[in-house]
Every structure is written in C-alpha cells, then in structure tokens.
Structure 1
Amino acid sequence: MVIAGLILAGGQGRRMGGADKALLSLAGRPLIAHVAARLAPQVGGIAISANGDAGRFADLACPVLPDAPGHRGEGPLAGILAGLEWAEAQGADLLATASCDTPFLPADLVARLVAAGAPAMAASHGRQHPTAALWPVSHRAALAELFASGERRMRVALAGAAEVAFDALPDPFANINTPDDLSEAEARMRA
C-alpha cells in the first residue's frame, strides 16, 4: 500500500495580521516545516496544497499543488481534490492530510488512521479534525461529484469515516490561529 501526504497550507491568518500562516516562525522555522517534519516519515512522499507563489515553499523541496482552475478560494476540499489527483499520479492508494498550523502532529497519525480503515479522521478531546485525515484515492471521483454539487464542508466529505481518538495532553492537534496560540506553541517547543 502506497500512502502519499498532503499539507494543507491554507491562506492568510485573519487573526495573525493577515500573515501567511504556513510561513509563521515557530522555534526559528516556518510552521509548515514542523508539519512536514512530522508527516514526511509517515508517508511515501509529501506535497503542499497552496495557491499563489509556489516559490515561498522552495525550502521544503516538494511539489506545491494549486487548486484546479475554478476551485481556487473554495476551501480545503479543493486542495484535497488536487492532492488526490497528485497522489493517484504517484501510484498511491491513500492520501494522508494535515493542516499547516498543527505543528505537534502525532508520530503515529498515519499508522493509526490506516489501522482504522480509510476513510478515517483524527479526533481529540471530543473534537473532530477533518484536515487530519486519510482519504482513499479511489474516492476521488465521488468527492469531485460532491464538490461539483456545491458541497465544501470537510465533515460532509468524510461522512461515515472512521474516527480515531488521540487524547494525549497537550493536544497534538492544537493549531495556531492567534498570536497567543503561537506564544503557547513556542513555550511548548522550549519544554
């Protein structure tokens, strides 16, 4: 079984002064570099889902996948579709996804999602994390049809998916949305 990985880079953080969240510095490295370091050992290869200048991710030396024309600005599900197309071209059976603002991903995220059976998504402390998920490449056509119908919600796209609980403390899916979150993550890195 071949598993590809996709980091969802998203866009600007409204509560972060409009900065590109993926490139915010955490412990001297961009947030996305922390996520890549955690996800890459768990998959056969990684790509980044992002629109705009791909050169901003050149240091990561992996493909940057823009949303398909007509899908730009339509949310993370558009990125999942681009990722599934890329994964299929790589010969992958599954696509593991993670958000660029979750630098503390579990080292066993993909293994545990695979053990649950795809599709699967992570959960922690009573909250679902649909961006931390495992998508069968064979579901690409069905997801494209769902997207074409106007659906954009990740939870709807993952309806019926296995839910895998990761209830460690601190929360491995704590994401960086505010300057306070970034300060807390810095403290967590130092600890």
Structure 2
Amino acid sequence: MPSNSNDSPPEKLDPASIRFIEVTRETRGRFETLFEQPGAPKYCWCMAWRHSSREHIQNDEKKRMMMALIDAGTPVGILAELDGGGPVGWCSVAPRETYRKLSKQQDDSETGIWSIVCFYVPRALRGGGLASALLDAAIDHAFSKGALIIEAYPVDEAAPSYRFMGFRDMFAARGFQETGTAGTRRHVMRLNR
C-alpha cells in the first residue's frame, strides 16, 4: 500500500498482535467501526465491485446494501484487529460470483473461484506489513471456505489508480500467476490450491 505522506516511518506491527476475523452478522459492528473512522472508505463501503442495479448510489445506500449482504450471510471479507484494540484493516475476499464481472476474460462457468478485490489499511499503518498480512489471511480464509482458485486484480506499484486492489509483486511473492489483464492497469492473477 502507499507509504505515509509525512516524514515518520510507518508503524511496524507485530504479526502476533494481529488477528483476523470474518465479517458476519455477529461481527458487522466492527466492520462499521472501521469504515466510519476518519479517512476510511465510507464513500464506497466496498460496493464498487459488487452487484448493483444502479451506477450512482449515495454513500448511505452503499452502506445499507453492504449491511444487507452481510445480514443475508453473503461472504464479503475479513478484518484485521489488534489485540486489545479495534479493527485496523480490511480485505474484500469472497466467492467471485458475489461480485460483478471483474475482467473481460472472466468465464462464469468456472466454479470454486474466490476473488480478492480490495484492501484498506489506514494511512498511519501503510508500509508496515499489514496489507501483506491481510493477503496471507485472505488466502487462508478463502481456501478454508472451499476455494479451489483465488483470483486477484492488482496493479504495478507505479500505477496511478486501483492501488486499493493491492500491488502485483505482493501477489507474485505468494505464488500467484498472471493469467491476463483487466483494463490497462489491473493484472489478473491466480493462485491454485
């Protein structure tokens, strides 16, 4: 994720102090807490890649739509939490069919595919390894839920947009293989079980 904008080094987190939880009906309050913090992506509520019948939706409607997915038991992602503290990060990881079409090459007849489409790490924690820890936890989570393939759509670190989808090198370091592109910036990458 991007580096801090100020001169202080990013806060390094002790991996042992981080735990990861699935967002469910029972944990949705923690998800709301994270997304309502200053600087958090409450403008999208991670609905940008999810199914919607309308293109332009107000923020409160996006939140309502996300909460309806969670309440219906639809997998939406995982949170990172610090021991003794609240949520500090998010990764959208869910079955690919719960998202809208993510690339032109997508074959909707394929089954068992989970997609990783978004990360959120607060600015003060960027560059400290939290995104990588979230990716590792997302991989474990998807495979534990039955994924046969995990697909992601990261960008190169120099890309001016879609940075919230993660960086290509972070996925390549974990064995993801590039299978194509989605648009001009996003790489389609896969990890097989």
Shared fold per TM-score greater than 0.5: no
So what's the TM-score if we normalise by structure 1? Answer: 0.30
TM-score with structure 2 setting the length: 0.30
Higher helix share: 1
